[in-house]
Amino acid sequence: MSLKLASSVDIIIECGTDREVLIQVLDAQGDPYNLVDHTITLYMTDIVESGKIILKKDGEIISGRNGVAMFVFEPADTRHLRGRSYAVQVVADHQGKMWLAFNGTIGLIATVDTKEDSEDENP
């Protein structure tokens, strides 16, 4: 197990797989923030090596009045990445006014073939 992945993470995704991630944006009182007429974007940053943004995903507001947005990860989004923790920021935009809606981490889990799987494929 990687020590970098052993820290607490907010979202876990297996590298190279499909995954829908739902987030709910809350206001300072803990109530759902109204995201009607907003756009929302997720930025994933390599905090270990480069500090650069390595993935940008536009989200879909699926329940604006309840502050719920969805991001769909496809296999190509994470297939090339190493299994470990990455920083993630979700930015909401309303008529050009951008603000941080979520700040946390994504834990990517590397997919590995077990010895048994390899033997089954190569008789």
pLDDT band of residue 41 (cuts 50, 70, 90) is very high
Given a cut of 70, whether residue 8 has pLDDT beyond it is no
Pairing of strands 85-94, 39-45: antiparallel
Residue 74 is assigned to a structural domain of this protein:
yes
Domain count, the chain: 1
pLDDT 10s digits, 103-122 = 999 989 887 655 554 455 55
Residue 123 is assigned to a structural domain of this protein:
no
The pLDDT value recorded for residue 80 is: 87
Residue 121 is assigned to a structural domain of this protein:
no
Mean pLDDT of the residues in the chain:
84
Domain span at 78: 11-111
Residue 119 is assigned to a structural domain of this protein:
no
Q: Can you give the CATH number for the domain in which 41 is found?
A: 2.60.40.3350
- pTM of the model as a whole: 0.79
pLDDT band of residue 51 (cuts 50, 70, 90) is confident
